[in-house]
A and B are shown apart, each in its own frame.
Chain A
Amino acid sequence: MRYAHRAESNYEYSNSTKESSDECYAAESMIPGVNTHPMTQIEPETSNLKKMSIITTTGLTKVYNADQVPVHALRGVDLTIDKGEFTSIVGPSGSGKTTLLNIIGGLDEPTEGKALIDNTDLTTLSDRKLINFRLHHIGFVFQAYNLIPVLTALENVSFIMQMQGRSSRECREKSIDLLKEVGLEDKINKRPSELSGGQQQRVAVARALASKPAFVLADEPTANLDSVSTAELLDMMLELNEREEMTFVFSTHDQRVIDRARRVVTLVDGKIDTDEKR
Chain B
Amino acid sequence: MFVNILKLGWKNVWRNPARSGVVIIAVLLGTWAGIFSAGFFNGMLQDYLHKQIELSIGHMQVEHPQFGDLYNPKYSVSNSNEIVSYLEAQPYTREISAKSIATGLAQSPHSSFGVTINGIDVEADTSLAIEQYITEGEMIDTTSRNPILIGIELAERLDLELRSRMVLSFQDVTGEITGGAFRVAGIFDSFIDQFDESTVFVLQSDLNRLLGNMDAIHNIRVDMDDLATAEMHAEEIEQAFPGVLVKTWRDIAPDLRYTFDMMDLTLYIVMIIIIIGLVFSIINTMLMAVLERTRELGMLRAIGMNKSRTFSMVMIETVFLTMVGAPGGLLLSWLCITYFGNVGIDLSAFAQGLNQYGIGTVVYPSLTWSYYLNIMLMIALAALLSALYPAWRTLKLKPVQAIRKFN
Contact = CB atoms under 8 A, between A and B. Distances in A.
B300 A131 contact: no
27 contacts: A107-B302, A107-B400, A107-B403, A131-B301, A131-B304, A131-B305, A131-B306, A132-B304, A134-B303, A135-B305, A135-B306, A136-B304, A140-B299, A142-B302, A142-B403, A144-B295, A144-B406, A148-B300, A150-B14, A151-B8, A159-B4, A159-B8, A162-B4, A163-B1, A163-B304, A163-B309, A211-B304
A70 B253 CA distance: 80
A160 interface: yes
Return the 6 tightest CB-CB contacts between A and B, nearest first: A135-B304, A150-B11, A145-B295, A134-B304, A131-B306, A108-B400
Contacts of B404: 98
Main secondary structure of the interface of B (DSSP, over half): helix
A2 interface: no
A209 B304 CA distance: 13
Contact of B406 (A143, A208, A211): A143
Interface in B1-45: 1, 4, 8, 11-12, 14-15
A149 interface: yes
Contact of A165 (B1, B14, B407): B1
B296 A145 contact: yes
A105 interface: yes
A162 B1 contact: yes
B296 A149 contact: yes
Interface of A: 98, 102, 105, 107-108, 128, 131-132, 134-136, 140, 142-146, 148-151, 159-160, 162-165, 207-208, 211, 219
Contacts of A136: 304
B299 A142 contact: yes
B327 to A, nearest CB: 23
A102 B306 CA distance: 17
A146 B299 contact: yes
Nearest to B10: A150
Interface size class of B (residues with CB under 8 A): 20 to 34
B8 A148 contact: yes
Contacts of B299: 140, 142, 145-146
Which of A105, A136, A145 has the most CB atoms of chain B within a 10 A radius of its CB? A145
Contacts of A132: 304, 306
B309 A148 contact: no
A108 B302 CA distance: 10
Contacts of A151: 8, 11
Nearest to B399: A107
Nearest to A103: B400
Given A107-B399, A107-B403, A150 B302 contact: no
B165 interface: no
Nearest to A191: B11
Contacts of B309: 163
B406 A163 contact: no
B233 interface: no
Contact of B400 (A102, A146, A148, A211): A102
Contacts of A142: 299, 302, 403, 406
A183 to B, nearest CB: 22
Contact of A140 (B8, B302, B307): B302
A211 B15 CA distance: 27
A142 B12 CA distance: 22
B41 to A, nearest CB: 43
A179 B252 CA distance: 79
A164 B309 CA distance: 12
A105 B303 CA distance: 9
B304 A160 contact: yes
A128 B399 CA distance: 13
A45 to B, nearest CB: 30
B303 A149 contact: no
A195 B207 CA distance: 96
Contact of B15 (A98, A107, A149, A207): A149
Contact of B8 (A131, A150, A160, A219): A150
Interface in B356-407: 399-400, 403-404, 406-407
B303 A135 contact: yes
A148 B8 CA distance: 9
A265 to B, nearest CB: 20
Contacts of A219: 403
